[in-house]
Structure 1
């Protein structure tokens, strides 16, 4: 048996009685989480302790120590699982005594020291199994800095030198493992994942795919457009670009290749569309819930702020897909496509939980209640037709799958809590902010560019929630320190944390698509970045013109939404339509003019925005007229 300290583990595929037993235990844990959130536990420390210990107990049995781990848990797995359970029991039984401790003053008892240290080490191993070396290495470095940073010279040195000090803050308070990230996962995120899993188990994923097929399947480049729409709809439920690629890409990528799209472009479309799903309301993935907690902003305001940017992102992706189909003269999909009428006639029960989620959220209820109401609406709503009705065992399976889906997110967020606690304890967050401002010279645009680059680097190879958390605590203070509002700053960071999933050199979403498309993940990632170009530019608009986040009058919001749509179209045209011989003019001057016009179109000044919008629309009209008089050029595969 080999043991890898670098590679992620493999989720075991249990069969027969072990699979049913695991499903039952995981479903029981899900029921406890529901009960704890809606009816019982109000103490965040107790909720965090029980949730983390339960997650770790299951995680070490479900996820092996390496990609080549055996199908059944090893003695090491059972030992780690048992230690996780014992730690949870100890903390729960002694919760009163632990809560009464005076932090940093009362000494540890022997069992407190043992189980506290165990939680630290178990969290690190769980992180390695679920996310690999990237996040684990970062957390380990921060722990070493927390312990030995007193040896460093100013400004990075600090006065902490005892391990017990670290242990007290990181395990025995809500500033570490059991801090905000894991509390959010144990409440909002878990319940919304449960909603999405129930909806998917009932057939909601097929319903969304059929809607996309009915709406665009018969148009030019239909399968690629189906991928864009269905991935956006599915992605708002899953919140994970990688799982979205696997779920929808296994269907759409082969169809796109068969239609005539290159392998690299087929994979890139799925990657760009799936990545954007993490920013699509009403759920927006788990990172958005953490953002709401960090900024103290009601979640419904986060949803409201994210709506226009998400729609503009998909306008850019969708139009590039369409223009590529026109440029390469790709025909509509020839297979049978369902009609919208038949799709809604069969799947209308799936609209009930969606309506409940939106209605309850907009009515001002908490995200926990909203998710619970949505999950209940899935079970009740789908009961109306035989085709969508869920059996009791399907409900149990969905609850069990919810717990198993949450394992990687919970492991990563527990580890991120260690980073947050360490930064708070040592003051490194504010020191890092000062360094960023110093490097940028205090200029706004350089600070923003540096913040974007650092956030993407922090997110390479990591789940979006972890990437956002690290950026929020390391980079966020720099943005607020130079005067940017909190919501705009954190939305800026959230978008780049999401986009790190498709950014080379790691591009985890592209790795998933590459396996399906049979193509190099690097070329898929670079094409996906081009398709997602609007997403890379939008965060700067958040800062420049906050009306795009719903911060302003109705007129200001409508104006920037219109200007943003024009700008998104201009970016798509500059990438896919302007080719020498297609437009009849030199490409790069037209691209430059479009970029200038698109930038002005979203300006906060109304006159500048009007001039920019007019210029951009005029250029696109000119290019369209020119293109009708020039044949489409031959293009290299994947160009």
Structure 2
């Protein structure tokens, strides 16, 4: 059942000549995206039309209809690819007339009705192939509501029942398929994915792994710590929990198992670490860009606000892994750890594009320009050394791979556009907000709990961007009605959309790790939830205390940083129940209470929590020294 919800179409392995042709076509498409974003001022509708139809043209050739699809492209996939191209030609050649027509008043021509309906059906099929039936079923449910909701009684009913009305909003304006999600994907998301592709192709992934090995490889639990750090670093490029698990877990999980780590723990470490990649700036699973566009908060502010929570998340996972390693006496890596010289002999070039992106962000440039700087810096830096230099064909491959990597995100965001358009058309978002507030009785804490649960449920089996978008339009209005600032409330929703990737019963990241670890995905998921506990608690802390998002004054932010670090350590120790000595239940509870106090927005309460945690830490240090002193020489 779960497998059918998350099962996607199979990525085809075409014959050598056909695969080469596909890469070239995909590279040409990527080149057009660069040109359209950096060198022209494109009309949003035209950009969306060409991007969606071009992506679909490639998608139906590259991805089969089922997990068992043949490598040879069948006639129906060729037909859908040609139909996608035809839709693109029609919409592009008629873009002026479509832009000038008065929505909902001018009737459709037969051609407009045909190609509009075809594009909607192609979007549903593209969503099913790239994200599975989970998101597709949700989109179809909303489409059914949009079409037949007039039959429902108040307050859930609406007055719209005409199919052409639905088609007009969802396909012939920038409120539907060509709306905010696809506009974001067609611009800076595409370029940031390209940055990650070129950085990885030149050897950036290996550099990050070696860097993690250099830092933690010889300590207890070294391989698990390597997984945490390397997954976090890799997440800055990929931003996808599943791809992060596959990329880094294929190395770290077998190493952990070989050294005697249980398969369940090895898989859970990788899942918890990889899921955090979607919270790690600058890419954040592309949802950060959608959040910035949807809320009108500058992207630089989103990245800055996301930085501390992401670091605290990884600190929590790292500390739990360390405490578990100490408690279970897990061994360090038995492989050769690279030296500083070996790591940076070629790896130093990968610092250039990262510095370039940071500079562009701090200088206040747009996300699109920032991503462009990252791409040029990544390719340019790689040419400095022979070991990292990319050939002309590798550059073409990098461009083509970027397009192929963006296929699932594009399919999901086009489908999300259908949902957003329908919600704005019928007003269901505000109705859902009213229902949530009615259930919670308007109590802030209860509303936040409901919002978290609903967001996780919406995200089960879905990509992070889709889960966030659904939560933003359905749950976001409820948080707004309670008066929460827009950035804090949407960061709250984004975090739970991210955490849905490791939450049972679906836990797509755990499904990916299970295949590598050869373990039950449910066991991995439940263990990962424990390791990632900070991720579930953090949103309540930062919506409560804006200093954790660096949104306060200098004193507020400084106290919040110190309180956040100590609270994270206290929670990690409490969960593991061990800090060199076993803790009693009452001590673990006391640590939790002190952690809650440490992140209070009230300065005096926060300082009390901080002092208590420091005193407890001093006590544990004394106990450990006494314990070491009693050991025989």
- TM-score normalized by structure 2? 0.97
Q: Cα distance, 1:27 vs. partner?
A: 0.3
- Partner residue in 2 for 1:602: 599
Quote the Cα distance in structure 2 between the aligned partners of 1:301 and 1:220: 38
- Partner residue in 2 for 1:353: 353
- Partner residue in 2 for 1:412: 412
Q: Cα distance, 1:375 vs. partner?
A: 0.4
Tell me whether 1:616 sits opposite 2:575 in the alignment: no
Equivalence map 1:206-217=2 (5 Å): 206-217=206-217
Q: Cα distance, 1:236 vs. partner?
A: 1.6
- Partner residue in 2 for 1:145: 145
Tell me whether 1:333 sits opposite 2:330 in the alignment: no
Quote the Cα distance in structure 2 between the aligned partners of 1:45 and 1:202: 35
Quote the Cα distance in structure 1 between the aligned partners of 2:533 and 2:582: 24
Equivalence map 1:138-537=2 (5 Å): 138-537=138-537
Secondary structure at the aligned position of 1:150 is classed as helix
Q: Cα distance, 1:15 vs. partner?
A: 3.7
Quote the Cα distance in structure 2 between the aligned partners of 1:457 and 1:508: 13
Moved more, 510-519 or 619-628: 619-628
Secondary structure at the aligned position of 2:383 is classed as helix
Quote the Cα distance in structure 2 between the aligned partners of 1:151 and 1:247: 49
Q: Cα distance, 1:41 vs. partner?
A: 4.1
Quote the Cα distance in structure 2 between the aligned partners of 1:119 and 1:456: 30
Distance change >3 Å, CA 7–CA 382, structure 1 → 2: closer
- Partner residue in 1 for 2:631: none
Quote the Cα distance in structure 2 between the aligned partners of 1:107 and 1:100: 13
Alpha carbon RMSD of aligned pairs, Å? 1.4
Quote the Cα distance in structure 1 between the aligned partners of 2:499 and 2:624: 33
Q: Cα distance, 1:75 vs. partner?
A: 0.8
8 Å CA contact 1:584–1:627 kept in 2: the answer is: no
Q: Cα distance, 1:622 vs. partner?
A: 3.0
Quote the Cα distance in structure 1 between the aligned partners of 2:621 and 2:67: 52
Q: Cα distance, 1:121 vs. partner?
A: 0.4
Quote the Cα distance in structure 2 between the aligned partners of 1:625 and 1:326: 18
Quote the Cα distance in structure 1 between the aligned partners of 2:626 and 2:11: 56
8 Å CA contact 2:440–2:446 kept in 1: the answer is: yes
- Residue deviations 1:40-60, cap 9 Å, x none? 242100000000000111111
Quote the Cα distance in structure 1 between the aligned partners of 2:597 and 2:5: 50
Quote the Cα distance in structure 1 between the aligned partners of 2:261 and 2:622: 26
Q: Cα distance, 1:625 vs. partner?
A: 4.2
8 Å CA contact 1:573–1:620 kept in 2: the answer is: no
Q: Cα distance, 1:430 vs. partner?
A: 0.3
Q: Cα distance, 1:221 vs. partner?
A: 1.1
- The alignment of Structure 1 onto Structure 2 pairs a total of residues equal to 625
Quote the Cα distance in structure 1 between the aligned partners of 2:311 and 2:224: 17
- Partner residue in 2 for 1:583: 581
Quote the Cα distance in structure 2 between the aligned partners of 1:526 and 1:561: 29
Quote the Cα distance in structure 2 between the aligned partners of 1:515 and 1:610: 46
8 Å CA contact 2:6–2:508 kept in 1: the answer is: no
Quote the Cα distance in structure 1 between the aligned partners of 2:44 and 2:110: 25
- Residue deviations 1:578-636, cap 9 Å, x none? 39xx73552x21111011000001111121111111212322443454456679xxxxx
Moved more, 570-579 or 47-56: 570-579
List gaps (5 residues or longer) in structure 2. Answer: 629-633
- Residue deviations 1:382-421, cap 9 Å, x none? 1111101111111110100000000000000000000000
- Partner residue in 2 for 1:636: none
Quote the Cα distance in structure 1 between the aligned partners of 2:466 and 2:282: 21
List gaps (5 residues or longer) in structure 1. Answer: 632-639
Quote the Cα distance in structure 1 between the aligned partners of 2:109 and 2:88: 16
- TM-score normalized by structure 1? 0.96
Secondary structure at the aligned position of 1:261 is classed as coil
Quote the Cα distance in structure 2 between the aligned partners of 1:391 and 1:293: 36
- Partner residue in 2 for 1:635: none
Q: Cα distance, 1:342 vs. partner?
A: 2.3
Secondary structure at the aligned position of 2:236 is classed as helix
Q: Cα distance, 1:282 vs. partner?
A: 2.3
8 Å CA contact 2:174–2:180 kept in 1: the answer is: yes
Distance change >3 Å, CA 585–CA 270, structure 1 → 2: closer
